[in-house]
C-alpha cells in the first residue's frame, strides 16, 4: 500500500504530471521507495478513480498533452490516516547475509570480490546523499517540512555509513581468514615438528 501514499505525498508537495513524478522518484523518493514509470501511471489511474486526486484543468487541451495531478481532500485524509496508523518494523532480508552464512560451510570463494563491489556501490551512494545534503539542506533551512525531509535523508546517510564500515570490516575478516592456515595444515605442521595439540613436545 505504500506506493499510492508515496505518490500522494509527492503531489501534496507539488502537483505534477506522471513524467515529472517519475523524475522526482528517480531523484529523491526512489532512494527509499522505488517505482517504475508504468507503476506510477497505474497508481495515478487508481487514485483518480478513487477520488483521491484529479487532473488539473488546462487552458488549451491538446492531444498527447501531459496531465498534471493534484490531491483532493479525500486523498489528503487518506494520507493522514495512513501516516498516523501504527506499523511494525519490516523483517530485514538480504541475500548477502545468507551467502556469508553459506560460505561458512561451503567456502567463501568469490565472496570477497563481491564485498568489494558492494563497498564501492555504498561509498558512491553515501557520496550522493552527502551531496544532496549540502545542496538541499544548507544552514538556515529549519522549517518543520525541511527538518522532517532532512531526517529521512539522514537515515540514508547513516545507513550508508553503516554499510561502508561493516563491509570494510568484513573484507578485513576475509583477508585474515585467507591468511590463516587451514586446520589440516596446522595438524600436518605439528606432526612434522613433533608438537602435540598443546604445542608441547
- Range scoring the smallest mean pLDDT among 29-38, 114-123, 148-157, 158-167: 29-38
Average pLDDT, the chain: 86
Neighbouring C-alpha atoms within 13 Å toward the C-beta of 154: 7
Cα separation of 147 and 102, whole Å? 42
Question: Would the pLDDT of 1 be above 50?
Answer: yes
> Could you count the other beta carbons within 10 Å of the beta carbon of residue 22?
19
**In this predicted model, what pLDDT tens digit does every residue of 11-31 receive, in sequence order?**
999 999 999 999 988 888 878
Q: How confident is the model at residue 201 (pLDDT cuts 50, 70, 90)?
A: very low
Hunting for cell 532512494 — which residue is that?
31
Closest CA to 74 of 55, 42, 56, 50: 50
Amino acid at each position: 500500500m505504500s506506493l499510492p501514499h508515496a505518490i500522494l505525498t509527492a503531489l501534496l508537495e507539488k502537483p505534477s504530471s506522471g513524467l515529472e513524478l517519475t523524475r522526482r522518484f528517480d531523484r529523491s523518493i526512489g532512494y527509499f521507495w522505488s517505482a517504475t514509470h508504468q507503476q506510477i501511471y497505474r497508481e495515478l489511474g487508481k487514485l483518480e478513480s478513487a477520488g483521491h486526486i484529479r487532473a488539473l484543468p488546462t487552458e488549451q487541451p491538446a492531444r498527447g498533452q501531459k496531465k498534471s495531478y493534484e490531491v483532493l481532500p479525500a486523498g489528503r485524509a487518506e494520507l493522514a490516516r495512513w501516516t498516523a496508523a501504527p506499523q511494525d518494523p519490516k523483517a530485514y532480508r538480504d541475500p548477502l547475509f545468507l551467502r556469508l552464512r553459506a560460505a561458512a560451510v561451503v567456502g567463501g570463494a568469490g565472496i570477497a570480490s563481491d564485498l568489494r563491489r558492494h563497498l564501492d556501490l555504498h561509498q558512491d551512494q553515501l557520496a550522493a546523499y552527502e551531496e544532496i545534503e549540502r545542496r538541499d539542506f544548507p544552514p538556515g533551512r529549519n522549517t518543520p517540512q525541511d527538518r522532517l525531509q532532512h531526517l529521512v535523508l539522514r537515515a540514508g546517510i547513516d545507513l550508508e555509513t553503516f554499510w561502508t564500515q561493516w563491509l570494510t570490516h568484513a573484507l578485513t575478516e576475509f583477508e585474515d581468514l585467507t591468511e590463516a592456515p587451514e586446520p589440516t595444515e596446522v595438524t600436518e605442521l605439528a606432526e612434522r615438528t613433533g608438537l602435540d595439540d598443546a604445542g608441547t613436545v
